[in-house]
Structure 1
Amino acid sequence: MNNRKGSNWIWGSFFIVCALLVVLNGLNVFSLTGFLWKIIVTLFFVLWFIESRQKKDTSGMVISGLVIFMMWKNVIGLGFLSIGTIILAGILLLVGIGFLNKPHTDHAPASRNVFVNDVDSDTLNVKGAFNSSSHYLRGSAVETVYITPSFCSMSVYLDQLTTKSGTLEVVVDAGFCSLNIYVPKKWKVHNEMHAMFGQIVTEGIPLPETEDKVYFKGDGNFSTVRILYI
């Protein structure tokens, strides 16, 4: 609750400042309209950086910092750096951070957004971008789970799911993220995922006699995907 109040305060202040700048622009206090909007956009990404830091969202900090750097690189004397070079450096930095991140073993980290995905259908969709989140999936007849994270840190818990036919298909489309997927030890994992400039690892040991089967499919590009038994 405190994090949400802090976030509301940050973004509320941002839009109030934007309103004041627009009024000052209308009164011709600022003669450089382009510079005014550059300040507003910079404020937006500065506040995004602050919020990401409060949530310990590394990807948000990196992306907002890179955008601010690209906007002001000429002012600080680094205009010779091309946009392509900066973007490539940012991608490599995110990949490196993804490799260094350790999976959280606690079920409800305080710094994350926590969601409970409860459905009656046979399909579940989990999405996330530019944030850190934990998703607890619930369902009594689920057949397919689609997980689509990008530029974020995400944990997905499958231990409260009941399959319809004893088989669950998990389709992952991950890009530039750290993804932890938790499965019950009584499930048999079949990993058919592919990774480009990333890694997919399975941690833990299943029970000697497993009940349901879970098939992991899809891609984890520039990402670290961990499948963990709990």
Structure 2
Amino acid sequence: MKKKNIAWGLFFIFLAAVYLVISSTGMELGVGLPGIFMTVLFVWLFVEGIKDVNFYSIVFAIAFICILYRKPLGLEKFGLTSWTILGAALLLSIGLSMIFKDVRRKNWKTKTINWDEKMSTPNGEQCSGEHICCENNFGSAIRYINSEHFCDAQLENNFGSMSVYFDNAIIAGEAASVEVENNFGETNLYIPKEWKVQNELKRSFGAVEEIGRGEGSSVATLYLRGAANFGVIKIYYI
């Protein structure tokens, strides 16, 4: 963490020097000081996207930089509007995420669950086991995790709404992990308030919200990882 802070500190110092040089020489970039700070934000999202192999963060960071510097880059002569660039970025993000899905999940040690073979209830579907994998696309889904030896879960929600309940799960060992990828939708996680939760969720043009407060009285720890891309991940302590 200290090395990361030093790196970003040096980057901002370099940025300040560049801005002073540009201001003193009268060079025109087509953007003012707010635009430069926005550029820093998008560069940061781009770097974080590469590190996490998050194509939404990578592509949209480039798209917003193109919009910001559309005139200096000469994109206006091609008739590319902001909405055209964003629309292309959306389709490109979806395509790359689908093609390189295995690359993004290479460290996720889970097994695929066929939800059609699991127990169904009027309110949703239930699953038991140590390793859980669930994907929801363009719809609404409710999942109940019933496990006495829960180890990890892999959750992906695309353009839909997904709710996952962990109140009937018991963590095996000292820790368990939940990987969440939420793209243009809403993912709701219902977690026992007794669990210790280490929230490591990231956001790329999205939000992560915690509703309620956990007690953290359990011995085991649940690690939440993943990202909210143009959507929201809500954590409910029940």
TM normalised by structure 1 equals 0.50
User: What TM-score comes out, normalization by structure 2 length?
Assistant: 0.48
